[in-house]
Structure 1
Amino acid sequence: MDRHDDFREFVLARQQALMRTAYLLTGDAHLAEDLLQSVLIKIVGQWPKLRKGGNPEAYTRKALVNQYISWRRRPHPELPSADPPDHGASYDEAALDRIVLRQALVKLTPKQRAVIVLRFWEDLTEAQTAEALGCAVGTVKSQVHHALARLRALAPELEHLLSDPELQEVAR
């Protein structure tokens, strides 16, 4: 048995979920692959310790967020994005919402984007999100509140998504 078999099993089992998190953080499939790969390279060296005494998925998710925030501190050229389809044309409203939401998410601060991704796409609790971000639950609550307010300002056309009563409760 190879010393990396457990790590391979973990990656195979959790790769799609981790890739989804990376994609939602970066907004770009290629950057998401780079992000996940760079984090997995760092984690493989610590795998024996992680496997024995911790939650490898939570640790990996936290490493993704930290690496993403670190990358965002460095200047990167803006990536081109598709414009929403012409309103005269037939279109899938959900697809249009996803495009507008993705464009608005890119304009959030890295920490605001991370808290939105972890809370709403990864469906983590406030405590789990705080653990992943290495901050207090109160910080998560305030970041969610500010991030949702910023999303409402950036994309008022998404009000039907952002006015969900459950979101309103979380944002308080």
Structure 2
Amino acid sequence: MNHYRYKFKKQKLEEYLASGDYSGAIALTERPYRLDRFMDFMDDVAGTEEFCKLAADVWIDSENIHRNLDEWREVWSMVGSSNREWLHDDQEWEAFQSLPEHFEIYRGIGVEGAVRGLSWTTDVDKARWFADRNANLAGVDIDAEPILLTGTVNKSDVIAYFLQRGESEIVVLPEKVELIRRESLF
């Protein structure tokens, strides 16, 4: 049965790629490899609404952003400020538009190296939740501590504002965040 399933998926994937159905190709790809699949053809759709929709879908569906920071920096660097609206659904875009020109954002980390991440939130309680989660997931052989980071950012530097998954997630390059506070949650 598994052999037939693999063969069917492989054939469908080839069909999707040949026809330019990149969304179908990504959906058929196992979750940990979706960013790799997207990067295989992202140059083909760069600068388009399809590129932005696919980038947003793969990002929102990803669990281990930190493992692919360089790749995600490359993806997000290809989204110009004039087409950021394409990353969002109507509710998210409206929420993004209502943000002030300069505002506080939060990031919950569990290990020191995670300070330079791309994912922040406007919800301090969600950041605290991530700090606890990330510290607990770090493992026994890693020096982990739940830490709440507070920063400020200019709205013009925000790449995306995703409301899906209830995270009020701000996607921003770390060098665009001014870190103003670091608080241990122990």
TM-score normalised according to structure 1 size: 0.31
Higher RCO (CA 8 Å, separation ≥ 6 residues): 1
TM-score normalised according to structure 2 size: 0.29
Kindly indicate which of the two structures has a greater share of residues assigned to strand. 2
Kindly indicate which of the two structures has a greater share of residues assigned to helix. 1
